[in-house]
């Protein structure tokens, strides 16, 4: 078993800490290798799909590879949604899949499918681990391969790596067998390089920037980073640049960051806020209205990233700058401060006016927009917040964060933007950070991933705010499906589940709100509870749609009024 034990020891030497296992016989040698090593934090999650998303959440939080281990056959395919999310979100996962030896593939042996390259283009690279044959070159090959896989995981852009591992029987060692790895184990270490711009590049870029008078800065999805924050604060203050910050950018702690843009940019054609240069960094943006607004502009677009394929979400990409974000914004200079300051003031004024509309808009009816306004104001400081996809992340982006900006961090699966693993991913971030973690989710995403609770690891620091409108409410808000006669039955997809029995089954404290008058009391009880918990807020999908449309109409009137004043 030394050949397999080598995998665990190399992972340990290269800094891997967390391992997520799913039960199975073919993977037994791998399972025992990590369990008996003694230096890993190992957890067993029976549902492979949930296991993969939990690993994703852990890696998302600690920004270091998490190992996944499963048995052969269809179990492997259950990793696919989380692997795809990890690829597009640049999250490091090391996926180890046990397999039958090649001679048994396609021979109607149990739990046998075609596993080599099973994830296709959704991994940075796929390896096949050599079958042990006693040859020293085979041992060397396996050791080198594992080092390369771990190092590729963390090389920018980070992402998932797959190692398929054929294993011959016997799969279980003798009960008295000791853990041991090969003598003279070969481990290849990597050294990170800090991508910095050359002096000549800085000179050329600064010269080009002389031609732009209205520069707009866009922060894509990313984690909080003190060096980046400091560089951005200095840059934005000195050069009077507006910074548009989606809630998942975690740039809301930067003074003056523009929020509520997803509301005030809808159908906004004001020339006063049109940029002639877009500077962006980070990954995806949530705001569809921001993307549409910039696609209709005449701006150039420069994107700053350390490595990888450059995306063009605004259809304006004209330059990719290979540099760290902090290095770029520390060394770049703008010209035309007066025009830039006037440009920034228009963005800030729209933000201010929209915030005023939101404050006046909050009513005493149990609609999602009203409750989200209340919830976002009451998130405790030093909390990690995971936003499920569909309406949860959209509501949060509409409203923004108004307090605790330097202590609250948001997470969301926006690589593929699927709802399927939101709860498991949130649990993974909680298990990794050991901080208070809240999940804000809708009922479809929540019940889709109910197996996130089917394990022994849900900590008392995990809390769920569940908005249950008994269906996929977003399809009642999108003009296309909402106008179809089949919309209610086949898009909204009504469901009658609630979280009470799930809470009882898995030992979570349960609170429920059916009307606005109950919210304050139930919320206070929920907030005071010190164990793992769920508060379920029941709303009406049609009332939610009406309330959101009324808000959007108020913002539209604001835009019209503002444009007429220019």
CB proximity list for 99: less than 8 A, separation 6 or greater: 26, 72, 112, 115, 116, 164, 165, 166, 167
Global model pTM greater than 0.85: yes
User: What is the per-residue DSSP string for 311-337?
Assistant: P-TTS-EEEEEES-HHHHHHH-----H
Residue 481: its pLDDT value, please? 62
Name every residue whose Cβ is closer than 8 Å to that of residue 39 and which is 6 or more positions away in sequence.
12
Instruction: Please give the Cα distance from 219 to 332 (Å, whole number).
Output: 17
CB atoms within 10 A of CB 4: 23
Same fold for the domain at 2-166 and the one at 362-552?
yes
How far is it, in rounded angstroms, from Cα 495 to Cα 474? 14
Strand 161-166 versus strand 383-387 pairing type: unpaired
Cβ-proximal residues to 337 (8 Å cutoff; 6+ apart), any chain: 239, 240
Q: Distance between CA atoms of 464 and 503, rounded to whole angstroms?
A: 11
- 286 by DSSP, 3-state: which? coil
> Is residue 47 within 8 Å of 78, Cβ to Cβ?
yes
What is the distance between the alpha carbons of residues 217 and 261, in angstroms, rounded to a whole number?
A: 13
- Say whether the peptide bond before residue 298 is cis (omega within 30 degrees of 0): no
What kind of fold does domain 202-342 have according to CATH?
A: Rossmann fold (3.40.50)
* pLDDT for position 489: 63
Domain boundaries, the chain: 2-166, 202-342, 362-552
Looking at the chain, how many residues does it have? 566
Is 41 in contact with 11 (CB distance < 8 Å)? no
Question: Is 165 within 8 Å of 96 (Cβ atoms)?
Answer: yes
CB count within 10 Å of CB 14 equals 21
The pLDDT of residue 561: 85
Distance between alpha carbon 213 and the CA centroid of its chain, in Å? 34
* Separation of alpha carbons 210 and 207, rounded Å: 6
Number of alpha carbons in the 13 Å side-chain half-sphere of residue 327 = 16
Distance CA 213, CA 205 (A): 14
Q: How far is CA 204 from the centre of its chain?
A: 35
- Cα(143)–Cα(130) distance, rounded to whole angstroms? 10
Q: Which is nearest to 83 in space by CA: 75, 73, 92?
A: 92
- Using an 8 Å Cβ cutoff, are 50 and 424 in contact? yes
CA–CA gap between residue 370 and residue 245 (Å, rounded): 22
Describe the strand order of the beta sheet including 409-411 as a list of residue ranges. 409-411, 383-387, 436-442, 462-468, 533-538, 509-513
Q: Which CATH superfamily groups domain 2-166? A: Thiamin diphosphate (ThDP)-binding fold, Pyr/PP domains (3.40.50.970)
Residue 250 to residue 67: CA distance in whole angstroms: 27
Identify the pLDDT of residue 175: 80
Residue 539 in tokens = 């709303």
- In this prediction, residue 163 carries a pLDDT of 98
Q: Which of 141, 98, 199, 169 is nearest to 3 (CA)?
A: 141
Q: Nearest 5°: phi and psi at 124?
A: -65, -35
10-residue averages of pLDDT along the chain (566 residues): 93 98 96 96 98 98 97 97 98 97 88 94 98 91 97 96 95 85 92 89 96 96 92 94 96 91 93 96 96 96 94 96 95 86 96 95 92 94 95 96 84 96 98 97 96 98 96 63 62 84 97 97 97 97 93 91 78
Q: What pLDDT sits at residue 476?
A: 58
Tokens read off for 509: 């404290």
CB neighbour list of residue 394: distance below 8 Å, 6 or more residues apart: 262, 286, 474
Does domain 362-552 fall into CATH 3.40.50.970?
yes
DSSP string, 463-489: EEEEEE-SS-GGGGTSHHHHTSTTHII
CA distances, 369 to each of 131, 174, 373, 385 (Å): 57, 60, 6, 18
SS3 of residue 224 by DSSP: coil
Q: Three-state SS for 417?
A: coil
At residue 156, the 3 state secondary structure works out as: coil
- pLDDT attached to residue 362: 86
CB burial of 242-280 (b: ≥16 within 10 Å; e: otherwise) equals bbbbbbbbbbbbbebbbbbbbbbbbebeeebbbbbbbbb
Work out the number of other CB atoms within 10 angstroms of the CB of residue 496: 7
């Amino acid at each position: 078993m030394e050949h397999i034990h080598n995998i665990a020891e190399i992972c340990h030497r290269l800094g891997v800490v967390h391992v997520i296992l799913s039960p199975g016989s073919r993977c037994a040698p791998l399972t025992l290798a990590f369990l008996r090593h003694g230096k890993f934090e190992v957890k067993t999650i029976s549902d492979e799909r949930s296991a993969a998303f939990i690993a994703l959440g852990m890696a998302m939080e600690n920004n270091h590879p998490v190992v996944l281990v499963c048995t052969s056959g269809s179990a492997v395919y259950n990793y696919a949604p989380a692997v795809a999310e990890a690829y597009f979100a640049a999250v490091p996962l090391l996926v180890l899949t046990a397999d039958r030896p090649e001679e048994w593939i396609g021979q109607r042996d149990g739990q046998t499918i075609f596993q080599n390259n099973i994830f296709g283009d959704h991994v940075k690279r796929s390896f096949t681990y050599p079958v042990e044959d006693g040859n020293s070159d085979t041992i060397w090959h396996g050791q080198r391969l594992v080092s390369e896989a771990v190092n590729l995981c963390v090389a920018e852009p980070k992402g998932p790596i797959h190692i398929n591992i054929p294993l011959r029987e016997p799969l279980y060692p003798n009960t008295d067998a000791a853990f041991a790895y090969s003598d003279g184990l070969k481990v290849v270490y990597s050294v990170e390089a800090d991508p910095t711009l050359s002096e000549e590049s800085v000179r050329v870029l600064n010269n080009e920037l002389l031609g732009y008078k209205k520069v707009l800065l866009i922060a894509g999805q990313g984690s909080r980073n003190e060096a980046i924050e400091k560089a951005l604060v200095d840059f934005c203050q000195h050069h009077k640049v507006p910074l548009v910050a989606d809630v998942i950018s975690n740039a809301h702690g930067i003074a003056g960051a523009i929020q509520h843009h997803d509301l005030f940019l809808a159908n906004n054609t004001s020339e006063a806020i049109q940029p002639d240069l877009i500077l962006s960094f980070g990954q995806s943006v949530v705001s569809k209205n921001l993307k549409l607004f910039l696609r209709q502009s005449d701006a150039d677009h420069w994107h700053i990233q350390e490595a990888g394929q450059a995306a063009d979400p605004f259809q304006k990409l004209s330059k990719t700058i290979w540099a760290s974000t902090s290095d770029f914004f520390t060394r770049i200079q703008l010209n035309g401060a007066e025009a830039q300051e006037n440009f920034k003031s228009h963005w800030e004024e729209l933000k201010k006016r929209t915030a005023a509309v939101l404050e006046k808009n909050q009513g005493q009816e149990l609609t999602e927009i009203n409750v989200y306004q209340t919830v976002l104001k009451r998130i405790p400081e030093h909390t990690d917040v995971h936003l499920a996809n569909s309406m949860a992340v959209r509501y949060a982006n509409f409203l923004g964060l108004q307090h605790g900006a330097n202590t609250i961090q948001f997470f969301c699966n926006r690589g593929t933007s699927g709802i399927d693993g939101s709860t498991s991913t949130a649990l993974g971030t909680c298990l990794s950070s050991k901080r208070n973690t809240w999940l804000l989710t809708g009922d479809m995403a929540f019940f889709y991933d109910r197996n996130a609770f089917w394990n022994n690891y849900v900590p008392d620091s995990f809390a769920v705010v569940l908005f249950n409108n008994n269906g996929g409410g977003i399809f009642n808000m999108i003009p296309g499906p909402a106008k179809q006669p089949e919309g209610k039955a086949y898009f909204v997809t009504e469901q009658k589940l609630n979280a009470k029995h799930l809470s009882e089954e898995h030992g979570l404290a349960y609170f429920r709100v059916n009307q606005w008058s109950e919210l304050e009391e139930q919320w206070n009880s929920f907030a005071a509870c010190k164990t793992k918990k769920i508060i379920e807020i029941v709303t009406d999908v049609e009332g939610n749609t009406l309330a959101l449309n009324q808000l959007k109409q108020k913002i539209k009137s604001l835009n019209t009024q503002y444009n007429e004043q220019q």
